[in-house]
Structure 1
Amino acid sequence: DLLSGGRLDFGVGKGYRHSEFAGFCVPAEEAEARFQESLAVIVKAWSSDEPFSHEGRFWRYDDIVVEPPTAQKPHPPVWIAAGVPDSVRKVAALGANLLLDQFASTEAIGERIALFKAECEACDRAFDPMEVAVARNIYVACDADDASAALARQASIHDRMIERSRGPDGSRRSHIMAYADTPGASEANVLFGPPEEIIAGLQALQAVGVSYVLMSGGEPTRANMLRFAAEVMPAFRPDS
């Protein structure tokens, strides 16, 4: 945060893969409690001008100070990943920003944004559409062959994620994997194609309330970003 002059955004999620917990010998059943306690400690550490102590179920600290302090006050923006309604409600109650996953359909994204807005209002919190971000794999293809090759790479990544997200009994442990065996699952909710298709997909997200998109995927990365800037972004300028 200091090196960037106050540009750090802090993104967190409690995790969903069995292997993530097994690797650290942590019961997955403790995920929610550990997440809530650790986030509280981090925010307290950033926000406290004086030494503070913490005694919780998993961690204990006595009279500690985090130095140097963050550039942003009281702390950098906190983004929490959420994919189900109950998690969206918790993000609103915590006063954090909402990060929606790259797997949900445009319709589901719209429903979650509407829920988040309602929950913010119920907590007497002003709703800001820029406090909701949606991740999407985006690749501005040069031609049909380029798009097909990019989708093939994405399918390989998708299949690897499915396998790594299974529990020890082979079951899926997350809503994210629920669509894994549906037709075209590896191509679902990715924006790979010519500029006009990318623009249409982003406009569909915009229509359900999305103002902030996190772009990922689509190698070679630099060339993809340059094409996106030159051929897609002009459609979203205020005067366009």
Structure 2
Amino acid sequence: MKFGLFGGAARGADQTGDSQSYRSFIDYVVKAEELGFESLFLVEHHFTGAGQLSASMTLLSYLAGLTSRMRLGTGVTVLPWHNPVLMAEQAATVDVVSNGRLDFGIGRGYRPNEFHGFIVDPATAPARFDEAIDLILKSWTTRDRWSHQGQYWRYRDIIVEPQPVQQPHPPIWVAAQSEASIRQAAARGQSLLLDQFSDTQAIGQRIAWYRDEQVIRGVEARSHQIAVTRGLLLVDDDAKRNAEVDRRLKAIAMLAATARVPNEEGEAPVVGSQMLDSSQGATEASTVIGTPEACIARLKELEAVGVDYVLFNDPWGGVERLRFFAREVLGEFSGQPVEESAVA
């Protein structure tokens, strides 16, 4: 089983500016690579007022120069917000400066406040997404000049540079939840990003859809092409467990609140088109939680339904929690001891 990180820089409650949170997050990622974590998938969010990360490609470019092994991904780039040719150029640049370490995670968007802010009709998101990904792939794989007159974008006599290091293009990761979208990703040979709020049973069902479609289509099934995000609530004493759950519940409530259209009441859909179950039971069922022994048991439950790649979302645990995980849990799944110098 492989482990990576999911999330981004976020302004703490005690911070008034953004520079401190970005600096802290950058140090966190660099240390995670030293500890043996395989990847980082950065979120992209806009207009929250809560200091969330918006320019993921810019930050990945910077992190490319500070890391040497870690895969650098987007979780996800919301294609309806972006000019696809400009995005192709930016993403290819990250792939070049990282020497071929980009994982390009993409999605259609789901937050009402973002559709509202960009003045994009949510009903157009699927068509915008499809046209954008076709243009990005064409940009990465076409060596001659080309033109395009589409429903949403037009270009004349362009040649897109730079070309990515990974050929024919960086891996495409799709955030998907419904059976139809998961089967579509499998049929297209795209990797799959699964959410951090669904329980183990739901995750297992989605993996089964993906693998079944691969068999139907004759697509090669590979390890580590499905990544599942989980909250990491590892503690050294079970007495601390409830406090961690409470803190995550407050974070989820803030996420839901910032996803709403300003001045509108009601719950916001947080995962795809489904309303988020923010109960304590649902939160505990979708996290890797408790002492090292309990976390190992939860990860083995995930492993039993086909999970071999877990991305941890942990906005407040910091390097100390990563170090604790590396020392007490990682070796159970990596098949090799963790270097003492890294966890000291």
**TM, length-normalised to structure 2:** 0.65
Matched-pair contact (CA < 8 Å) for 1:34–1:58: yes
Instruction: Look up the match of 1:201.
Output: 298
Deviation at 1:144, TM superposition (A): 3.1
Return the letter of the residue paired with 1:170.
G
SS where residue 37 of structure 1 aligns? helix
User: Are residues 169 and 37 of structure 1, via their aligned partners in 2, closer, same or farther at CA, if it must alter by over 3 Å?
Assistant: farther
- Picking from 163, 170, 175, the partner of 2:266 is 170
1:10 maps to which residue? 104
Shift of 1:53: 2.3
1:151 positional shift = 2.1
Hey, what's the Cα distance between the residues in 1 that align with 2:117 and 2:133? 21
Q: How many residues align?
A: 240
Aligned to 2:231: 137
> What secondary structure, in the 3-state scheme, does the structure 1 residue paired with 2:218 have?
coil
Contact 1:129 1:209 in 2 (8 A): no
Query: Is the counterpart of residue 234 in structure 1 residue 331 in structure 2?
Result: yes
Cα drift, residue 219 of structure 1: 2.1
Residue in 2 that maps onto 1:180: 277
Q: Which runs of 5+ in 1 are unaligned?
A: none
Match of residue 5 from structure 2? none
Residue deviations 1:112-136 (CA, integer Å, cap 9, x gap): 1111011122222111231111011
Listed one character per residue, the Cα deviations across residues 173-220 of structure 1 (whole Å, up to 9, x for unaligned) are 465553525453443401122111111111111000011111121523
Percent identity (aligned) = 39
Equivalent residue in structure 1 for 2:130, among 36, 56, 65:
36
Give the Cα–Cα distance (whole angstroms) in 2 for the partners of residues 25 and 227 of structure 1.
Answer: 44
Tell me, yes or no, if the aligned pair for 1:179 and 1:185 is still in contact at 8 Å: no
1:92 and 1:55, CA in 2 relative to 1: closer, same or farther beyond 3 A?
farther
Counterpart residue identity of residue 320, structure 2: A
Structure-to-structure mapping, 1:17-28, within 5 angstroms:
17-28=111-122
2:160 aligned with 1:66: yes
Q: Aligned with 1:232: secondary structure?
A: helix
AA partner of residue 235 (structure 2): A
Paired residue for 1:51, among 141, 145, 158?
Answer: 145
Alpha-carbon offset, residue 140 of structure 1? 2.0
Q: Do 1:137 and 1:218's aligned partners in 2 also have CA atoms closer than 8 Å?
A: no
TM-score of the two chains, using structure 1 as the length reference = 0.91
Q: Does 1:76 align with 2:170?
A: yes
Match of residue 213 from structure 2: 119
Instruction: Name the Cα RMSD after superposition.
Output: 2.1
Distance 1:237 1:46 in 2: 34
> Does 2:287 align with 1:190?
yes
Aligned residue for 1:130, secondary structure, equals coil
Q: CA deviation at 1:138?
A: 1.0
- Is the contact between residue 256 and residue 269 of structure 2 (CA under 8 Å) also seen in structure 1? no
Instruction: Tell me, in whole angstroms, the C-alpha distance in 2 between the residues paired with 1:42 and 1:197.
Output: 43
User: In the aligned structure 2, how far is the partner of 1:23 from the partner of 1:84?
Assistant: 26
Structure 2: how far apart are the matches of 1:61 and 1:77?
25
How far, CA to CA, are the matches of 2:331 and 2:128 in structure 1? 44
Deviations 1:11-51 (A, max 9, x none): 11111111111110000111111111111111111111222
Q: Is the 8 A contact 1:135 1:215 kept in 2?
A: yes
Taking the TM superposition and a 5 Å limit, the aligned residue runs for 1:96-111 are 96-111=190-205
Whether the 8 Å contact between 1:162 and 1:180 is mirrored in structure 2 is no
Residue 155 of structure 1, CA deviation: 1.1
